[in-house]
Structure 1
Amino acid sequence: MLIDTHTRNLEVKKGDETLEILENVVIGRKGAGTKEHRGDDITPLGNYRIGWINEKSAFRKFFGLTYPNVEHAEKALLKGQINRDTYDAIARAETTGQIPPQNTDLGGQIGIHGLGSGSLSIHEVFDWTHGCIALRNDQIDRLSQYVEEGTLVTVK
């Protein structure tokens, strides 16, 4: 899966073939880039996997990303934002295919989700998430046929 934060498209891919394009995705209130800390409302760029799936989310469906990854952890460790134990836990999760700690200063609970009972009129005009990628409910339902735990996701 490729999420282009500039074109606002989510492409479902199988190898080089594009199976489906979902348009007008919404990102964090402060755009996409390097997520500095929990609550900064930035959608983090990078390569992730779907770490968990919540079919009963308040946002209709939630596909959790394996954020933070080792790349984020290395930068945060060098800046003194996280300690060695936190870095090691994130690295171990990535190496073993597990979900990284979701309660670090880097933030967590970043994923792809629907609107749930949220306002479609706001969704169509504003970036409103706290760092997630949001789709309309019909789009998240369509996406769910392609998604399973372990699915590779690139946010660029």
Structure 2
Amino acid sequence: MKLAHLGVGLLAAALLAACSTPQTSPENADFVLVDKSDRTLTLLRDGKAIRTYTGLQFGAAPNGHKQFEGDERTPEGRYTIDTRNPLSAYHLSLRISYPNAADRAFAASRGRSPGGDIFIHGQPNALPVGRMPGDWTDGCIAVSNSEIEELWSAVADGTPIEIRP
């Protein structure tokens, strides 16, 4: 009888794991390229595109490089994915290492804060289905919930990311 309970428990654990793991996951990327003008995010491996996501949503002021806290712009330049947040208010999120030293120096020279906490993330947890309309983040890059699940699986911490205008 104990073996039967153990078997049922293992089966339940396996089913739970299968349900929480994205079923379609691209191979691991070694570089992330975001093109703000095309609204695309491309995962690359060894210089070859392995998956492209379209229809990205940005900060409410999508044009130009983020310079200051509250400017609602999405940064441009080279950064890394430096950590992940499974308890994000936006489904899942991958943090971008903005601001870098140059960003901090520029903001400081103007007596301002460069801001921070820039992520690639899904839609708000409070949104029952679908996507928020338009550009709505405070400078982050928003994708659908299913897309952030794929990105979560395919992009490791430390992966370089380039965000182009």
Provide the TM-score with structure 1 as the length reference: 0.77
User: Which residue matches 2:134?
Assistant: 126
Query: Among residues 51, 71, 76, which one is paired with 1:45 in the alignment?
Result: 76
Q: What is the rounded CA distance, in whole Å, between the counterparts of 2:90 and 2:64 in structure 1? A: 23
Matches within 5 A, 1:1-150: 1-81=32-112, 105-115=113-123, 116-118=125-127, 123=132, 125-150=133-158
The Cα shift of 1:107 comes to 0.4
For this pair of structures, how many residues does the alignment match? Answer: 132
What is the Cα deviation at residue 11 of structure 1? 0.2
Q: Please, which moves more after superposition, 33-42 or 60-69?
A: 33-42
Which segments of 5 or more consecutive residues in structure 1 lack a partner in the other structure?
A: 82-104
Match of 1:85 in 2: none
CA distance in 2, matches of 1:118, 1:155: 27
Query: By how many angstroms is 1:113 displaced?
Result: 0.2
Tell me the CA shift for residue 135 of structure 1.
0.4
Q: What's the TM-score once normalised by structure 2's chain length?
A: 0.73
Matched position secondary structure for 1:106: coil
Greater strand proportion: 1
* Higher Rg of the two aligned structures: 2
